[in-house]
């Protein structure tokens, strides 16, 4: 699965930018509040507008303080997947249940420096694990290869039946790094500049998907 990140898109042309990647599996929307991370991007009004102009599922990544209060609004608006940070959530188990009740899938994200092990039981309540392979806050950062160990741990837990979730990765994913991530066991790849800096974003999505599938030994058509 490929999820282009609109953090790298032209904010003045978001409807066109979504239309340029019609075969994307998800559209990844980074919501930042300038508190949990040192950057300010967009929020619920923009997400509601995006939902009106695309049928591609919206994947909201909330890099915000107090997600227990704010995340439900994104689910109620129609986002397909709403991801919160374990470092910010007060009661991540209750929040997962509330997100599902509001109509979305529930995602849990962990920063590069946050270990996976303490949250395995919490993840049993979630549909998606988002492993950050850069420090959250800004696009265009260099891929942190050591974060793939957490991907491998999560993949093992899924393959052995201890968890039932999709493993997503965000940060520095491009033609040079996607194969490593795929081999580690990622299901969904968030890609920003690798898609929207390309001459043809739609073709970039397909090229990344082919690379990932090839690295996983999956035959593409």
For residue 179 the two structure tokens come to 């194969």
CA triplet 214, 218, 219: central angle to 5 degrees?
90
192 marked as binding residue: yes
Residue 162 labeled ligand binder: no
30 is in an annotated binding site: yes
Residues labelled catalytic: 30, 170
156 known member of a binding site: no
Scan for tokens 């946050």, then name that residue.
Answer: 114
35 is in an annotated binding site: no
- Can you state the percent helix, strand and coil of the chain, rounding each to 5? 40, 20, 40
Count of helices and strands (H, E) across the chain: 9, 8
For residue 140, say whether it is annotated as part of any ligand binding site.
yes
Confirm or deny that 172 is annotated as ligand binding: yes
Residues of the binding site for substrate:
5, 61, 137-140, 170-172, 192-193
Residues of the binding site for a divalent metal cation:
28, 30, 61, 170
Residues of the binding site:
5, 28, 30, 61, 137-140, 170-172, 192-193
């Amino acid at each position: 699965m490929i999820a282009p990140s609109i953090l790298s898109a032209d904010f003045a042309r978001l409807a066109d930018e979504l239309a340029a990647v019609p075969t994307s599996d998800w559209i990844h929307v980074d919501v930042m509040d300038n508190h949990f991370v040192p950057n300010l991007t967009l929020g619920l009004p923009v997400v509601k507008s995006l939902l009106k102009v695309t049928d591609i599922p919206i994947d909201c990544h909330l890099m915000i303080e107090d997600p227990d209060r704010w995340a439900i609004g994104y689910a109620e608006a129609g986002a397909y997947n709403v991801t919160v940070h374990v470092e910010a959530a007060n009661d991540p188990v209750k929040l997962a249940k509330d997100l599902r009740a509001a109509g979305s899938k529930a995602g849990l994200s962990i920063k590069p420096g946050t270990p996976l092990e303490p949250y395995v039981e919490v993840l049993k309540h979630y549909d998606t694990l988002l492993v950050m392979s850069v420090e959250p806050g800004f696009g265009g950062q260099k891929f942190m290869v050591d974060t793939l160990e957490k991907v491998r741990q999560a993949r093992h837990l899924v393959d052995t039946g201890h968890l039932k979730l999709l493993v997503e990765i965000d940060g520095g994913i491009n033609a040079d790094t996607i194969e490593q991530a795929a081999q580690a066991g990622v299901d969904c790849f968030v890609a920003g500049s690798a898609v929207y800096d390309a001459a043809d974003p739609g073709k970039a999505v397909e090229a990344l998907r082919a690379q990932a599938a090839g690295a996983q030994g999956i035959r593409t058509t």
